[in-house]
Amino acid sequence: MATFLSVQGYDPGPSQRPLTSGAISGALATIPAVPILIAFGALKVEAQILGLTPLLTLAIGCPVMALAGAIYARVFGRPANNTHGGWLFGMAYGFGLWAMGAVLVLPIVSGGRTPAGPAALGVAMSLLTWGLATGILVPFVHRPLHEGLEKASRHAHLGPSAAAGKNGPIKEQRQPDKH
């Protein structure tokens, strides 16, 4: 249990770019999810429900899943960035997306229509696969984007300069001249 709890920590700071790494991971995670949608016929069913072509559904879906990845990385923070447990957080998040999107939102926006049968299974499996892939990818995408402490401390709004109030959000108060 202690190793599981060690993934918790401070929230990622602005130099750690959790939104960028999550968005890139979310977009890349659509690659293994789309074949599942196609294999189960879920992509065609979703496109019919939304009144779109399958290609347009994919074109809209990829940026939406990139946004979902950014939200995942921001909400889960350091646990999302763990190479050992990130996959589990990702799958849980994918399940949550399925519950919110396919089960709640899609019927609301479509007048009660929702995938059924193999298509419904395809939607669920694709979102679980997307979550798994996102959870696996975030730590590896995040590493190259993460600024080192040395470099980040040179920013005026971060590090020692900001803490000392120089060139950061805290402005120095000038004392009036005593004449």
pLDDT-flagged residues of the chain (< 70): 1-16, 146-179
The pLDDT value given to residue 16: 57
The pLDDT value given to residue 59: 95
The answer to whether residues 139 and 81 touch, using CB atoms and an 8 Å cutoff, is yes
Q: Where are the domains of the chain?
A: 16-148
The number of residues making up the chain comes to 179
Sequence-separated (6 or more) residues with CB below 8 Å from residue 22: 69, 70, 71, 72, 73, 74, 80, 134, 138
**CB-based contacts of 92-98 (< 8 A; 24+ apart in sequence):** 92/131, 93/131, 93/134, 93/135, 94/127, 94/128, 94/129, 94/130, 94/131, 94/132, 94/134, 95/127, 95/128, 95/131, 97/68, 97/127, 97/130, 97/131, 98/123, 98/124, 98/127, 98/128
When the pLDDT of each residue in the chain is averaged and rounded to a whole number, the result is 79
User: In a 10 Å sphere around its CB, with 0-12 CB exposed, 13-18 middle and 19+ buried, how is residue 124 labelled?
Assistant: buried
The pLDDT value given to residue 53: 95
The pLDDT value given to residue 2: 43
Q: Global pTM?
A: 0.71
